[in-house]
Amino acid sequence: MDTPKLTSDHFYKFFQCPHWIWYDIYGDSTRKRQMAPLLETIFKGKMRDAGSMLREHKKFEEIKPELFRDLDEAFLATLELMKQGKNIYHGVLMSSKWVGMPDLLEARPLHQIQGEPEKSEFGDWYYVAYDAQQSLDLRDEFKFPLVFYSLILEKLQGVRPKEAYVIDANNNERSFLVNDFVDQFHLTREQIEKVLNGEKPAPFLKGGCKRTPWYSVCLSDAQGCNDVSLIHRLSQSDQRQLYNIGIKTVQDMADANLDDLRSKLEEWPFDKLVRLNNQAKVLISGEPMILRKPEFPKVKHEVYFDIESDPTRDIDYLLGVLIKNTETEETQYRYFLAKEKSEEQKMWRDFLDFLVTLDDFVIYHYAYYENQVFDRMVVQYGAPTELIHKFRENTIDLHTRFVDSVVLPVYFYTLKDIAYHLGYRWDNPNAGGAESVVWYNEWLDKGDESILKRLLRYNEDDVRATLLVKEWLENQKPSKSKEKESLDE
């Protein structure tokens, strides 16, 4: 079997889950989950129609779609346009067994680069690579494909681009120096090429595995050997260091002596060792460990808040709230909806009007996202100062309260993982934030009200699950343990 070509997609897959590439080539295809194309777009941080967005800011040529049936033909067509000095959308770059498809290749005059030759293989211009992203984030999974394109460009044009670029929907650009990351890139490339050649990575479970079509297989493999990576917030570097001192399973970590760990892992903070040891013990016992009892304010109205967003359209389309009257125990679900970007501001104003009506209240949300969107809306559409203070001074992040107070026998501390463990069941068991975006787009395309109902039910499930988490948490009592006492010292 010939070694598959190395593509830019391999870098994205590797950073999500090192096994993804291996399973794609050598795994049992019957165990692979089918994913909607839009889900992949969301997970990769891409936009639905990058070409239309880029066309507003850049002039470019496109490769004829029929040429992509044969990448060699698409590559030759790309080369012809490069020889003409044209900007190119979704060009194909090739060199030996490397194949890359940047969102945009932009031609630039060589005289802009000091110390470079007067001519490239194409003339007095050279090319730089752009990727269009939902954000200007420069995590390795976004940088390394751009380094990859830049190195292929060097082989084709005889000039290595000094910089590579990401661009967002608002035409904001961010660049980085390619040479600063070439060494790290090659270390990752070498690991990927080992996988392409058939070397299966060691078992490892991480959050990114959930974004792959092989998550159930990754989970099964890690559980099969009770791998230490099943412990929440344990990195691959942590795993390697623990393997080196003989800690390979969850049981090993649960049985480990903290003082012994401290002497062997001197650079690790002691509270990290305690946390990992506690998590391992709880995974073995199956029983929660309550570290401390959180305090919650006594108010008349508790509001549980959850937001749905479509990053591929750059829109926050649904603000959902569950209002609980603590005196009557009655709950009411309300939502604010935008069908398109032009309706987002009205949705925001309606939400602010709702905020005005609240008194003797607290707003609960799970994790940072709701605060992040609120701040973004304030910048984009404005809000009275008193309402900004009213929101910020009366919100509580239940994720922070939870992880500070409880150790649960779960692998991840998302709302779905925790609420499911506590007994909550979503109407659609496979629903998630990304799936809600798929439904939103289906509703917009088809106008089917049953799809909208499914979307709203999912959002209502989210806020009701948040309510369950809060009520469970406030009813717990601390458990006594040496680990707890050590952590508090």
Q: At what angle do helices 182-196 and 19-26 cross, to 10 degrees?
A: 30
The model's confidence at residue 484, banded by pLDDT at 50, 70 and 90, is very low
pLDDT at 52: 77
Q: What does the pLDDT read at residue 116?
A: 62
First to last CA, the chain: 58
pLDDT at position 483: 44
Most confident of 45-49, 54-58, 268-272: 268-272
Percent with pLDDT over 70 in the chain? 96
Positive or negative, the Cα torsion across 13, 399, 204, 184?
positive
Length of the chain in terms of residues written: 489
**43/423: higher pLDDT:** 423
Task: Phi first, then psi: give them for residue 323, nearest 5 degrees.
Answer: -105, 125
| 170: confidence class by pLDDT, cuts 50, 70, 90 | confident
> Bridge-partner residues for 126, per DSSP?
108
Residue among 286, 291, 282, 296 at smallest CA distance from 471: 296
Of 145, 131, 102, the residue nearest 13 (C-alpha): 145
Q: In one letter, which amino acid is 459? A: N
Q: Distances from the Cα of 426 to the Cαs of 39, 102, 306, 433, 475, in angstroms? A: 20, 39, 15, 12, 23
Closest by CA to 297, choosing from 223, 368, 367, 394, is 394
Which range has the worst mean pLDDT, 33-42, 220-229, 283-292? 33-42
Classify 305 as helix, strand or coil.
strand
pLDDT at 481 over 90: no
**Residue 130 φ then ψ, to 5°:** -125, 145
pLDDT per residue over 334-388, tens digit each? 999 999 999 999 999 999 999 999 999 999 999 999 999 999 999 999 999 999 9
Lowest mean pLDDT among 50-54, 81-85, 367-371, 386-390: 50-54
* Per-residue pLDDT at 35: 84
Tokens 């030996």 label which residue? 96
The pLDDT mean for the chain works out to: 93
Q: Which segment of 417-421, 439-443, 457-461, 474-478 scores lowest on mean pLDDT?
A: 474-478
CA–CA distance, 157 with 235 (Å, rounded to integer): 39
pLDDT at 77: 97
Q: Give, in order, the Cα–Cα distances in Å from 489 to each of 14, 273, 484.
A: 40, 14, 9
The pLDDT of residue 487 is above 50: no
pLDDT band at 393 (very low <50, low <70, confident <90, very high): very high
Asked if residue 72 has pLDDT above 70, the reply is: yes
pLDDT(269) > 90: yes
HSE toward the beta carbon, residue 198, CA cutoff 13 A:
3
- Pair 108, 139: CB distance under 8 Å: no
pLDDT of 43 > 90? The answer is no
Query: What does the block give as tokens for 350?
Result: 């309606």
For 88-141, what is each residue's pLDDT tens digit?
A: 999 999 999 999 999 999 999 987 666 666 689 999 999 999 999 988 999 999
Rounded average pLDDT over 284-300: 95
Q: Up-side HSE of residue 391: CA atoms within 13 Å toward CB? A: 22
The number of beta carbons lying within 10 Å of the beta carbon of residue 254 is: 20
Average pLDDT of span 469-476: 96
Question: Residue 429 — very low, low, confident or very high, per pLDDT cuts 50/70/90?
Answer: confident
DSSP designation for 97? T
pLDDT at 446 over 70: yes
Above 90 in pLDDT, residue 10?
Answer: yes
Closest to 168 in 3D by CA, of 105, 231, 103? 103
pLDDT band at 17 (very low <50, low <70, confident <90, very high): very high
Radius of gyration of the chain (CA): 26
Rounded mean pLDDT of 285-306? 96
